[in-house]
């Protein structure tokens, strides 16, 4: 034994010469890991480590967090503001004033000519909450366009919409600590070990202490499915059928918590009537899960003292995404599984601050979960901001997925993209390219200048990134945590907050408003706006009034609500069973499934499924440049079933051409039994890849695209040509 050990080469960790550690929260996924950035004697960020006493991650980080110090000086960072008259001309470096003057002047010119809503603003889930709040004030209070949305429409919109329809308000009601208390966890369309590794580690730790059944619903045998007790390999796009059938069994077999239903919900009769059509035998024919398994899962879920559900994009990115979320909420309401330890409907959020934009950016309404449709909310915010409430629109404008078609039809003439890259992340990118080419003025505000959308821009604003800035992120479990500026912004890049504040000065009415320069000044405004009464007459749930930047850092993140005078935050919502509707009751919704996806047929015989892998984040503007992330999957590839490949004569690591009704893409084949015979799966991280093929039908409530359901065929292709193409695409 000892001899063997001695023979091994010891792992040597190079001393990076860290002189100081500074506090932040990871800027990738919504897990919200507390992280420290190590700085050397020159103040350069050289490494990171997890914060040991942080309640979320207890010292852990995943591969992206561990390598995050490399993103500051990664190739492709924007260093100077840029301007040009036409997208095909070379860029000219200009000073900030010139580029911001031009941006404001173009917005005003276009609004004067075509109307206020002809300028669109599309933002993100990845800047700081204080920045979101300021962008909202600028857009709603000064620019005055109603076509203002974020990439969260590609991501969390169905969860938001489902929470509002079931509970009367957005806001995930549970927390990671629920893993310690639950007796059954059911996960829908989430690959937690890869996409939220540290949340998964928390679940695993809970499971090691106390075994409880884990059920994973996913058409692929993901890593999560491999660790599950029961895997339900569902037919794509049919989760609603399965959920209605579970409700059928629970309500018909007397397994429901009728006392909870009577006291805290409306709509039982309508739901009961609808789910009669979803008996397990009929449902099994649609969703591909056999009737006995449906019955067993229903009895198991309803029979334990506490059960919980989590879900991510397998539910949200679907034509019935919002209905799927409501059906998960139905399941938890009829079994009395909301607001108790281990009992919850917890949407696992995507981006690091997708929660912050939902809460404070005014994208879909006004700050602090206020609605444009509510005259009292318009009045309240107008007074607080010193903006005439009549200046606000009376209902929300276009979603991101409606903004691009409106560019196509000529309604929108100018576009401001803040930290999002639609040329890679939107469905059907051929169409997006054409819309971007039609714009009279396009401005891209991104930390990286090489982001694909810049090719279509007239102006580029170089933003500082992540912990070059000061503010907060909110994570999946409503925990607000701090990002502190660990180093100065690179070159002439500027924090997004600074950019918004400077741009605001180009509107004379700004002088009558407040645009605090410091993040803590903005946070104070948010705190004031967070107090008050909700729709049901009870105190607002999104209350931050007890928090301060210092306290947040001291406690390594605080969960809202935290009201003034309280010592810390609240792990759960709806503990009292009082929901955010005027009568305080949640809604059980009767939701019929509609068969409306593009499905495999003779010409396009494979389902096209897409998603992510652990080592990459989104469109790879960051992880594509970090060697220890990119090396694991530098090449666009797809998972394919070996039996299907054998039929087509396709081999492992061969390039193939995929063709859909929208376009084509060349990818490398990875043969794996993870994937069913009639499906291929592509990580969406690569430019000119899966979204050249995707259809992206929209959910009627959330307007979120069904990225995960459409169809393709697989064709053989010239290997030398494909390899050349691949090298070209990889050359950033």
How is the beta sheet containing 344-347 ordered, strand by strand? 230-232, 214-217, 185-188, 308-311, 344-347
Residue among 104, 127, 228, 439 that touches ligand MGD (CB under 6 A): 127
What angle, rounded to 10 degrees, do the helices at 280-287 and 291-303 form? 110
Residues 6+ apart with CB under 8 A from 16: 38, 40, 46, 47
Q: In whole angstroms, give the CA distance from residue 272 to residue 62.
A: 44
DSSP structure string for 284-321: HHHHS--HHHHHHHHHHHHHSS--EEEE-HHHHSSTTH
- Candidate ranges 163-171, 289-297, 415-423, 535-543; the one touching ligand MGD (CB under 6 A): 415-423
Closest approach, Cβ 146 to ligand MGD, in A, equals 22
Tell me the two tokens of residue 28.
């990738």
Q: Among 682, 365, 315, which residue's Cα sits nearest to residue 529? A: 365
CA end-to-end span of the chain, whole Å?
Answer: 47
**Minimum Å distance from CB 61 to ligand MGD?**
12
Task: Write the CA distances from 140 to 149, 423, 600, integer angstroms.
Answer: 11, 26, 44
Contact region with Mo ion (CB under 5 A), list: 5-13, 75-83, 149-157, 466-474:
149-157
Query: Which residue number, 392 or 604, has a Cβ lying nearer to ligand MGD?
Result: 604
CA-to-CA distance for 161 and 321, rounded, in angstroms? 9
Nearer to ligand MGD, 406 or 451 (CB): 451
DSSP-derived 3-state class of residue 459:
strand
**DSSP assignment letter at 445:** E
Figure out which of the listed residues 161, 425, 545, 633 binds ligand MGD, where binding follows CB under 6 A: 425
Choose from ligand MGD, ligand SF4, Mo ion, none: what does 26 bind? Cβ within 5-8 Å by kind: ligand SF4
What is the closest distance, in whole angstroms, from the C-beta atom of residue 611 to Mo ion in the complex?
Answer: 10
Q: Which residue is nearest to ligand SF4 (CB)?
A: 65
CB 307 within 8 A of CB 183: yes
Rounded to a whole number of angstroms, the minimum distance from the CB of residue 411 to ligand MGD is 22
The binder of 610, among ligand SF4, ligand MGD, Mo ion, none, by C-beta within 5 to 8 A per type, is ligand MGD
356 is a site residue for Mo ion (CB under 5 A): no
**Interacting stretch for Mo ion, rule CB under 5 A, among 148-156, 376-384, 530-538, 600-608?**
148-156
**136 and 363 Cβ atoms separated by less than 8 Å:** yes
What mask of x and - would describe binding to ligand MGD in positions 182 to 211, judged by CB under 6 A?
Answer: ------xxxx--xxx---------------
Residue of 344, 357, 362, 421 that binds ligand MGD (CB under 6 A)? 421
Contact 652, 623 (CB under 8 A): no
222 binds, among ligand MGD, ligand SF4, Mo ion, none (CB under 5 to 8 A by kind): ligand MGD
Which residue, 202 or 662, has its beta carbon nearer to ligand SF4?
202
Measured between alpha carbons, how far is 48 from 41 in angstroms, rounded to an integer? 15
For residue 530, the minimal CB distance to ligand MGD (Å) is 24
Q: How far is CA 359 from CA 24, 137, 699, in A?
A: 20, 13, 22
Q: State in angstroms the smallest separation of the CB of 224 from Mo ion.
A: 17
Phi, psi (5° rounding) for residue 289? Answer: -105, 130
Shortest distance (Å) from residue 238 CB to ligand SF4: 29
* Of 42, 45, 5, residue with least CA distance to 23: 45
Work out whether 155 is an interface residue with Mo ion (CB under 5 A): yes
**Binding of ligand MGD at residue 470 (CB under 6 A)?**
no
Q: How far is the CB of 693 from ligand MGD (least distance, A)?
A: 8
Out of 142, 185, 313, 403, the only residue in the binding site for ligand MGD (CB under 6 A) is 313
**Chain residues in the site for ligand SF4 (CB under 6 A):** 26, 28-29, 31-33, 57, 61-62, 64-65, 196-198
Identify the residue whose tokens are 């991510």.
312
The partner residues of 632 in beta bridges, in order of sequence, read none
Distance CA(645)–CA(653), nearest Å, equals 11
**Span 592-621, contacts to ligand MGD by CB under 6 A:** 609-612, 614, 616-619, 621
Q: Is the Cβ of residue 62 or residue 256 nearer to ligand MGD in the bound state?
A: 62
- Sign of the CA dihedral with 664 first, then 667, 669, and 673 last: negative
Dihedral of the CA atoms 451, 452, 453, 457 (nearest 10)? 90
| The pair of three-digit structure tokens given for residue 86, joined into one six-digit string | 């036409």
419 binds, among ligand SF4, ligand MGD, Mo ion, none (CB under 5 to 8 A by kind): ligand MGD
Interface contacts to ligand MGD, rule CB under 6 A: 29, 124, 126-127, 151, 154-155, 188-191, 194-196, 217-220, 222, 234, 236-237, 239, 312-314, 317-318, 350-351, 418-422, 425, 445-448, 451, 463, 465-466, 496, 609-612, 614, 616-619, 621, 684, 690-691, 694, 707-708
Interface contacts to Mo ion, rule CB under 5 A: 155, 350
């Amino acid at each position: 034994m000892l001899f063997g050990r001695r023979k091994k080469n010891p792992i040597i960790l190079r001393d990076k010469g860290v002189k100081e550690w500074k506090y932040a929260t990871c800027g990738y996924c919504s897990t919200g890991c507390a992280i420290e950035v190590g700085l050397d004697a020159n103040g350069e960020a050289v490494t990171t480590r997890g914060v040991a006493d942080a309640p979320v991650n207890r010292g852990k980080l995943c591969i992206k967090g561990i390598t995050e110090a490399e993103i500051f000086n990664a190739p492709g960072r924007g260093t100077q503001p840029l301007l040009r008259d036409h997208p095909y001309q070379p860029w000219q470096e200009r000073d900030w004033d010139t580029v911001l003057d031009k941006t404001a002047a173009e917005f005003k010119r276009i609004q004067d000519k075509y109307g206020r809503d002809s300028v669109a603003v599309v933002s993100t889930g990845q800047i700081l909450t204080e920045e979101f709040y300021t962008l909202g004030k600028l857009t709603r209070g000064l620019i005055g366009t109603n076509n203002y949305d974020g990439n969260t429409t590609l991501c969390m919109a169905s969860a938001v919409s489902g929470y509002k329809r079931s509970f009367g308000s957005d806001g995930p009601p549970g927390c990671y600590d629920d893993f310690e208390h639950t007796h059954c966890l059911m996960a829908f369309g989430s690959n937690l070990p890869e996409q939220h590794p540290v949340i998964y580690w928390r679940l695993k730790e809970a499971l090691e202490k106390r075994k409880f059944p884990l059920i994973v619903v996913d058409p692929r045998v993901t890593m999560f499915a491999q660790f599950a007790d029961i895997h339900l390999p569902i037919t794509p796009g049919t989760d609603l059928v399965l959920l209605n059938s579970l409700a059928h069994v629970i309500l018909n077999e007397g397994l429901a918590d009728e006392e909870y239903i009577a006291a805290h919900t409306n709509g039982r009769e309508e739901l009961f009537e609808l789910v009669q059509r979803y008996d397990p035998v009929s449902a099994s024919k649609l969703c591909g899960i056999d009737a006995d398994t449906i019955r067993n899962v229903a009895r198991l879920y309803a029979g334990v003292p506490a059960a919980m559900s989590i879900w991510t994009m397998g539910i949200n990115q679907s034509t019935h995404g919002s209905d799927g979320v409501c059906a998960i909420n139905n399941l938890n309401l009829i079994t009395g599984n909301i607001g108790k330890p281990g009992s919850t409907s917890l949407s696992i959020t995507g981006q690091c601050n997708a929660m912050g934009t939902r809460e404070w950016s005014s994208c879909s309404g006004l700050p602090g979960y206020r609605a444009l449709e509510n005259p009292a909310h318009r009045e309240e915010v107008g007074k607080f901001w010193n903006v005439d409430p009549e200046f606000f629109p009376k209902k929300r404008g276009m979603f991101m997925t409606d903004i691009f078609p409106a560019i196509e039809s000529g309604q929108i003439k100018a576009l401001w993209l803040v930290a999002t890259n639609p040329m890679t992340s939107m469905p059907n990118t051929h169409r997006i390219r054409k819309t971007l080419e039609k714009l009279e003025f396009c401005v891209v505000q991104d930390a990286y200048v090489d982001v694909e959308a810049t090719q279509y821009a007239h102006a580029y604003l170089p933003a500082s990134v992540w912990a070059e800035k000061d503010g907060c992120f909110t994570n999946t479990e409503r925990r607000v945590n701090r990002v502190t500026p660990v180093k100065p912004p690179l070159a002439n890049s500027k924090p997004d907050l600074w950019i918004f504040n400077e741009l605001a000065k180009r509107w004379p009415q700004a002088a009558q408003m407040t645009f605090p320069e410091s993040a803590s000044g903005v946070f104070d405004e948010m705190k004031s706006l967070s107090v008050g009464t909700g729709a049901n007459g009870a105190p607002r749930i999104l209350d931050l009034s007890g928090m301060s930047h210092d306290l947040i850092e001291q406690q390594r993140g605080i969960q809202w609500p935290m009201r003034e005078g309280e010592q810390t935050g609240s792990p759960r919502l709806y503990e009292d069973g009082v929901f955010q509707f005027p009568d305080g009751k949640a809604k059980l919704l009767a939701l019929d499934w509609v068969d409306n996806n593009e499905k495999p047929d003779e010409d396009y015989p494979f389902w096209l499924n897409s998603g992510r892998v652990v080592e990459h984040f989104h469109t790879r503007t960051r992880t594509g440049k970090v060697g220890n992330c990119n090396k694991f999957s530098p090449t666009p590839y797809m998972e394919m079933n070996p039996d299907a490949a054998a039929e087509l004569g396709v081999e492992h690591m061969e390039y193939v051409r995929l063709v859909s009704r929208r376009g084509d893409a060349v990818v490398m084949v990875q043969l794996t039994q993870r994937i069913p015979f009639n499906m291929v799966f592509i990580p969406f991280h690569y430019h000119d890849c899966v979204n050249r093929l995707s259809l992206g039908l929209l959910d009627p409530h959330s307007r979120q695209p069904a990225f995960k359901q459409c169809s393709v065929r697989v064709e053989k292709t010239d290997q030398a040509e494909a390899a050349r193409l691949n090298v070209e695409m990889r050359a950033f």
